[in-house]
Amino acid sequence: MAKAIHTMIRVLDEARSVAFYETAFGLKIADRFVFDGFTLVYLRNAEADFEVELTVNHGRSEPYALGDGYGHLAVAVEDLDAEHARFTDAGLTPQPVKEFFRDGALMARFFFVTDPDGYKIEVLERHGRYR
């Protein structure tokens, strides 16, 4: 059976992106590999072994066009309101908390935040299928 191990995004500024993901999600550098032309930075935390791979193409100065195909990355947290307040206090500018209902029952509580390169991340409260 296949196991999801990472997602990759291209970023312009390694330090800025590493700082964002550490502040927002407690992700720290697990590995970093420099190659001719690009650097791969793998981020993870103690909650899971799934990683965010940052690809930094050397010499790139123009922002990446995210296009209309990218949706979002999602993470689950225990206390959504506390995380929203923490993000706000850290200057990460989260969007307002929203609630999503299906057949009259709460399906999800969540907010979105955008990383320095424009990637959207959904922060969901652990509930139901979102664990």
Q: Which residues are catalytic?
A: 122
Map residue 25 onto helix, strand or coil. helix
**7: number of CA atoms within 13 Å, CB side?**
10
Beta carbons of 30 and 54 less than 8 angstroms apart: no
Contacts of 88 (CB under 8 A, 6+ apart): 94
How many other C-beta atoms lie within 10 A of the C-beta of residue 68?
6
